[in-house]
Amino acid sequence: MTLVEQYDMLLTNGESLLNAYHDNVKNKEFYIEGQRVIGICKEWITNNEITADDIYETVDSADGYDIVEFAYCKGITEEESYMWALLSDIVCVLCSLAYQIEHQNCIPQAIECIIEEKIESFVIFINQNMKIHKDIKECIKYFADNLCY
């Protein structure tokens, strides 16, 4: 599977995950931000002005308002917290793939921990398990156990 195919498959799964939780997301501003992040990831494919750095900014921004933080907000359900955690993992991997496709040597430290050689197996795992299991904790666990050093 090429890097672009991995990116496309993961982007499709990220978008599906967010859409599946549309009715469960308590904070609609967060949902809109999630859609914006997916939109940036989609636009990266066709818009040369969007870069891997732009995707990275959605998970580690200077203002601290990013989807990684949403999983830890008060007042959300445990299930919604897992959804935001998995969406953050997916966007981090999308960002890593974007850096690879752009042939960037300077990668932000938060993304640097992702083991490039294991991304394809993560993409395959997500693609298979998001359709089978309602419990997304397995996908988060797979990411933590297999993709990061």
Which residue, 21, 124, 128, is CA-closest to 80?
Answer: 21
Point out which residues pair with 148 in neighbouring strands. 114
Decide if 44 contacts 55 (C-beta within 8 A). yes
User: Domain residues of the chain, as ranges?
Assistant: 3-146
Which residues lie below 8 Å from residue 3, measured CB to CB, with a gap of 6+? 97, 100, 101
Torsion of CA 81, 5, 107, 16, to 10 degrees: -20
Model pTM? Answer: 0.92
Task: Give per-residue pLDDT as tens, 82-94.
Answer: 999 999 999 999 9
Distance separating alpha carbons of residues 75 and 72, to the nearest angstrom: 9
Task: Give per-residue pLDDT as tens, 99-148.
Answer: 999 999 889 988 999 999 999 999 999 988 876 556 788 889 889 999 88
Work out whether the CA dihedral 126, 131, 132, 135 comes out positive or negative: positive
For residues 53-66, give the mean pLDDT: 88
